[in-house]
Structure 1
Amino acid sequence: MTNRRRPTWWAELLLLALVYGAYSGGRLLARGDVDLAVDHGLAILRVEELLWMDFERPLNRLFSQSGVLGIPADFVYASLHYLVTPAVLIWLHQRRPRHYRAARTWLVASTLLGLVGFSLLPTCPPRLLDASYGFTDTMAQFSAYGWWGGEASAPRGLGSFTNQYAAMPSLHVGWALWCGVLLWRHARTPLVRALGIAYPVLTTVVVMGTANHYFLDAVAGAAVMGAGALIARRLLALRDPAGTGTDATPDAAPDAAPDAVPDAVPGAAPGGRAVGFRGKSPIVGGGWDTSARELLPAQRPPAADTADDDTAAAAR
C-alpha cells in the first residue's frame, strides 16, 4: 500500500469553503414558488399518513409540550450540524489522512446532490404548514432561549439569508450519517464508535421533533449520502486506477509479515522460508499428525537428497 502525502490543510480549507459557499448560494437561488413548496410538503405528509410513517407528528407534539426536550433539541438542531461535521473532517485530516480524501469527496458529492434536490423539489417543512395540520415550530416557540429567531436556525435578523423551503432532502440527517459512518469505521475506542451510531439517530429524531423535516426527508438524506458514496468511489477510481489512495486498510496498521519458519527446520530455504510454499510458513492440516518441526510430504527434500540421507544412515 502506497501512503499518500496528507492533503495540504489550507488548500482543503479553501476547497471546502468554496463548496460550502456554492451550496449556501445555491440554496438561496433555489427558493422556488412558495405554493409549490407547500404542495410538495403536503404531498409528502399524505404519503406518510397513508403508510403510517408520519413519525414527526407525535415527536413534535412531545417536544413542543416539554421544554426539557424541546429546548435542548433546538440547540442540537441549530449547532451540531455546523460543529460535528467540520470536527470529523479535521480529525480525519490529522489522524486518519489515508481516509481523508475519500471522505471529503463523499461529503462534497452528496452535498451537491442535495442542492439538486432543493432546486428540483422545493419543500415546505412541517413547521411552516398551516396550524390546522397540527405542527408547532419549536425554534420559534423557544427562541428566547437561543440565538435563533423565528426562521429556523438562522441567527436573529439573518432569516432572509436562508432558504426555508429546502427541506427535501434533509442534509442535517445526511451529514450526521456521514459523520456516524466515519466514526464507526475509523475510531478505535468503543465510546467514540457508539457516538457514531447515536449521532445520526439523535439528529433524525431532532429534525422531526422540531418540525423542521418530515420522516421522508430524513430517508432522502440517507439516500443522497448513499448516492454520493457511489459517485465518490467512481471519481476516486478514475483519478487513481491503481487504488493507491483508497480506503482499504486502517491507518498506522503495520504491514503484516508472513510467519517465518525456524532456520533449523529441514527443507527450509535461506532466510527460514519453507520450500514449496512460496515464502509462507507451513500449515499443518488435512488430518496429518505432525509435530511442530515435522514437514509434510510436499515440503520434504527431493528424492535424491533423501536417498543420500538413507545411505549415510546405513553406513552409520
Structure 2
Amino acid sequence: MWFSYLSALVLVVWFVGLPTDRLYQAAWIIAGLIAFTIDRSWREHLKVLTDWLPLIAALVVYDLSRGVADELGMPIRVTELVTAESWLFGGTIPTVWLQDHLLGPHGVPPWWTLLTGIVYTSHFLVPWLVAAVFYAYSRPIWAKYMRRVLVLSYLGLTTYILLPAAPPWFAAEVGAIDVPVGRVAGFGFGIVPLDVSTRWLEAQGNPVAAMPSLHAGFAFLVAIALWPLASRWWLRIPLVLYPLAMAFALVYGGEHYVVDVLAGWACVGLAIVLCRMWEGRVGLRGAGERTDVSLAA
C-alpha cells in the first residue's frame, strides 16, 4: 500500500505540483499515515481522522482569517519598519544591500537561486511532514508540537490584524525604499519564470503579513522540535543551518526584514512559554505526556 501511495504522490507532484493548499496537503498526509500503517485496525485509522481534523480545521480558519488583516482599516506599517531596519544596521537596509551585491546584471538571479527557492518553499511542506513523522513516532510528541504550531499561527494572525506591516518589496513599490526591491527568493526553482512566480506570490500572499515572519518562525520551531531527536552532534548542524538559511532567503528575497525574522523567532519563544504554562496547568507535562524523548519545546 505504501508503494502505491508514494507512486501516486510522485506522479501528482510531477504533473500537478507540490501539495501546498491546506486541505489538499492534509488529505495527502492523512492518506500517507493510513497507507504506512495499513495493517492497523479500522478504529485506529478512524482515530487518525479524529486526531487531525480538528487541528486542520483550526489552521483553515487561520488561513481564511489572514485575508481579513488588510481589510479592517488598520494603518499599514511601511515606513516604520524601513526606519527600524535602517537604524538597526547603521543606515543600510540588508535586503537592498544583499540584492545589490548578489544579483547579477539587470537583476538576474544567480545560479544558487535554486537553493534559496528550495529553502523558501520548504515552509509549505517541512512543518507538516515533521507533524506526520511525529504522529507516527509518538502521539504525545505530535500533540505538543501541534499545540505550538497552532499558538504560533494565531500569534502571527493577531499581530497581522492589530499591526499590519508591509514587506520590503511592497515598501519599494510605494516609495518608502527609494530603490527597486525584487522578490527573488527563488520560488518556482527557475522552472517557472520569475515574473510568473512573483505574480503568484502576490495573489496568494498577504501584503500586510510581514511582521512577524512565520516562515522564519516555523523554521525555528521545526529546529527546536527536532533538536532532542538528534542524538549526535553532527545531526544538529542542519537544525542550526535551516532557520538561518530561511532567514537569509527571506531577507535577500525581499519578503521580510531582519526585524520580521527576529519577531518570528520571538513568537516561537512566546508560543513555547504559553504552551508550557497551559500544559503545566492541566497536568500534561507529567505522566500524561511522558515519552522516551520529550520535545525541548
Please list the CA deviations of residues 122-145 of structure 1 after superposition, one character each: whole Å capped at 9, or x if unmatched.
Answer: 111101223653342234998692
Moved more, 176-185 or 93-102: 93-102
Inter-partner Cα distance in structure 2 for 1:195 and 1:84: 13
Please point out which of 160, 184, 187 is paired with 2:227. Answer: 184
SS in 1 for 2:210: coil
Inter-partner Cα distance in structure 2 for 1:16 and 1:172: 19
Inter-partner Cα distance in structure 2 for 1:106 and 1:13: 15
Determine whether 1:56 maps to 2:95: yes
TM-score, normalized by length of structure 2? 0.70
Please point out which of 272, 276, 292 is paired with 1:229. Answer: 272
CA contact 1:89–1:100 (8 Å) conserved in 2 = yes
Inter-partner Cα distance in structure 1 for 2:141 and 2:187: 40
Question: In the comparison of the two structures, how many residue pairs are matched?
Answer: 242
Determine whether 1:170 maps to 2:213: yes
Instruction: Tell me the amino acid that sits aligned with residue 206 of structure 1.
Output: A
SS in 1 for 2:128: helix
Q: How does 1:186-265 map to 2 (within 5 A)?
A: 186-240=229-283, 243-246=286-289, 249-250=292-293
Please point out which of 42, 52, 65 is paired with 1:26. Answer: 65
TM-score, normalized by length of structure 1? 0.66
CA contact 1:70–1:138 (8 Å) conserved in 2 = no
Deviation at 1:11, TM superposition (A): 2.5
Determine whether 1:45 maps to 2:85: no
Question: CA 1:173–1:151 in structure 2 vs 1: closer, same or farther (change >3 Å)?
Answer: farther
Inter-partner Cα distance in structure 1 for 2:184 and 2:268: 26
Deviation at 1:226, TM superposition (A): 0.9
Inter-partner Cα distance in structure 1 for 2:185 and 2:87: 29
Question: CA 1:36–1:75 in structure 2 vs 1: closer, same or farther (change >3 Å)?
Answer: farther
Paired residue for 1:76?
119
Higher helix proportion, which one?
2
Inter-partner Cα distance in structure 2 for 1:185 and 1:101: 16
Question: CA 1:140–1:95 in structure 2 vs 1: closer, same or farther (change >3 Å)?
Answer: closer
**Structure 2 unpaired stretches of 5+:** 1-43
Inter-partner Cα distance in structure 2 for 1:214 and 1:174: 13
Q: How does 1:6-17 map to 2 (within 5 A)?
A: 8-17=47-56
Question: CA 1:44–1:58 in structure 2 vs 1: closer, same or farther (change >3 Å)?
Answer: same
Inter-partner Cα distance in structure 2 for 1:35 and 1:237: 36
Please list the CA deviations of residues 81-137 of structure 1 after superposition, one character each: whole Å capped at 9, or x if unmatched.
Answer: 011101111121112434222111111111111100111111111012236533422
Deviation at 1:248, TM superposition (A): 7.1
Paired residue for 1:89?
131
Inter-partner Cα distance in structure 2 for 1:51 and 1:232: 31
Percentage of matched positions with identical amino acids: 21
Please point out which of 45, 54, 67 is paired with 2:110. Answer: 67
Moved more, 229-238 or 174-183: 229-238
Question: CA 1:24–1:184 in structure 2 vs 1: closer, same or farther (change >3 Å)?
Answer: same
Instruction: Tell me the amino acid that sits aligned with residue 129 of structure 1.
Output: A
Determine whether 1:100 maps to 2:139: no
Deviation at 1:148, TM superposition (A): 7.8
Inter-partner Cα distance in structure 2 for 1:230 and 1:247: 19
**How big is the alpha-carbon RMSD for the aligned residues of Structure 1 and Structure 2?**
3.2
